[in-house]
Amino acid sequence: MTPATGTDALSLALSERSALIELCLYALDRAKSPGVVERLAEGFDHVGVVSLRPDGERFDPALHEAAGTVPTDDPELDGLIAATETLGFVDRDRLLRPPVVLVHQLRAAP
């Protein structure tokens, strides 16, 4: 096998990085040990992969995946994210996985 050079080497390295990150996300989702979860999170931080927990932010369907709603009587909470069910991740500016969230929804008037 001939070693990759220049643009080919960069493309290969980026592809391999992406595959490793996806494998680590898979492992993180299934990890039962807090120590393993912490170590994976530290590794992600070290290479520029950041977790997303947008609790309290305004829901944006382009950035978040809604899992359901949480009823509220407070109009100020309507449309804000109540809780994150599954963390999202970005690799620098590239969204790897949107966070799965619960969104406050104003109760209908009786």
Sign of the CA dihedral running 55, 59, 64, 70: positive
- Residue 43 phi/psi, 5-degree rounding, is -65, -45
Q: pTM score > 0.95 for this model?
A: no
**Residue 6 clears pLDDT 90, i.e. is over it:** no
pLDDT tens digits, residue range 64-81?
999 999 999 999 999 999
The CATH number given to 49-110 is 2.30.22.10
Cα–Cα nearest to 63, from 77, 79, 52: 52
Radius of gyration of the chain (CA): 19
Q: Which of the 8 DSSP states describes residue 32?
A: -
Looking at residue 25, its pLDDT comes to 94
* Structure-token match 């994976």, residue found: 40
So where are the chain's domains?
A: 1-47, 49-110
Q: Which residues contact residue 54 at a Cβ distance below 8 angstroms, ignoring those fewer than 6 apart?
A: 63, 64, 81, 84, 88, 99, 101
pLDDT tens digits, residue range 34-93?
999 999 999 999 999 999 999 999 999 999 999 999 999 999 999 999 999 999 999 988
**Residue 108 clears pLDDT 90, i.e. is over it:** no
Angle between helix 6-30 and 34-47 (nearest 10): 150
Looking at residue 109, its pLDDT comes to 75
Q: Which of the 8 DSSP states describes residue 58?
A: B
Q: ∠54-101-81 over CA atoms, to 5°? A: 55
